Amino acid sequence: MADSNITKKALAQALKDLMQETRFDKITVGNICDRCEMNRKSFYYHFKSKYDLVDWIYHTEFICFAKDKEYNDELELLTDMCSYFENNKRFYRRVLKYDNQNSFFNSLTSLLMPVMEKAVDDMFADSENKTFFLTFFADSLILAIKKWLMDTNDMSAEKFVKLLHNTILTATENIVVKKHK
């Protein structure tokens, strides 16, 4: 297992290094393998594609860390996640710019849905439209994160999360108020 992680980390570092000089859409599996002096068979033993490698990077660098941490609420998780993205903004900006398959955001969606589901359950426990609200807020959050990452203004993660939180609170309060009128 240790050898497997060493190989995966070498492939991940090769991709990160290549992205310093080459656009993500121009990087091939062959380029990644050449950079870390491995053959393509080794790459495909561990990953299906370069998108799968990006997902692995996100999973090992953030998700494994987040799973081991006790969060008091969803906002704390979101803050950690956005801080991670802020610290790795250049890498993810380059990935997102050319990620036509949206594989990274599919992975992000599967991470956020359970968290969002708990929040939506708390806010709309008696609503028949809970599934709609869950999808709406999760999709909105993911799109907001993508736009924030791609924005050249470089808003801090802390400020971004505060804005998101205030926006979501205001929207949900308005929904609840209108529902009870």
Give the model confidence (pLDDT) of 113-169 as tens digits.
777 787 777 777 777 888 888 888 888 888 899 899 988 888 999 999 999 989 878
Give the range among 16-20, 27-31, 69-73, 156-160 with minimum mean pLDDT.
Answer: 69-73
* Residue at 162: amino acid letter: K
Q: What is the pLDDT of residue 141?
A: 86
- Please tell me the distance from the alpha carbon of residue 55 to that of residue 48, in angstroms, as a whole number: 11
- Please tell me the distance from the alpha carbon of residue 36 to that of residue 132, in angstroms, as a whole number: 46
Of 101 and 14, more confident: 14
Q: What is the pLDDT of residue 177?
A: 65
Name, of 14-18, 96-100, 122-126, the range with top average pLDDT: 14-18
Q: What is the pLDDT of residue 158?
A: 93
pLDDT in tens, 24-65: 989 999 999 999 999 999 999 999 999 899 989 988 887 777
Q: What is the pTM of this model?
A: 0.79
The answer, yes or no, to whether residue 4 has pLDDT greater than 60, is yes
The answer, yes or no, to whether residue 1 has pLDDT greater than 60, is no
Query: Per residue, what are the HEC states of the chain?
Result: CHHHHHHHHHHHHHHHHHHCCCCHHHCCHHHHHHHCCCCHHHHHHHCCCHHHHHHHHHHHHHHHHHHCCCCCCHHHHHHHHHHHHHHCHHHHHHHHHHCCCCHHHHHHHHHHHHHHHHHHHHHCCCCCCHHHHHHHHHHHHHHHHHHHHHCCCCCCHHHHHHHHHHHHHHHHHHHHHHHCC
Which whole-number Å values give the CA distances from 113 to 80, 90, 106, 142, 145, in the listed order? Answer: 16, 25, 11, 10, 14
| Residues 6 or more apart in contact with residue 132 via CB below 8 angstroms | none
Of 172 and 99, more confident: 172
Phi, psi of 27 (to 5 degrees): -85, 130
Number of residues that this document lists for the chain: 181
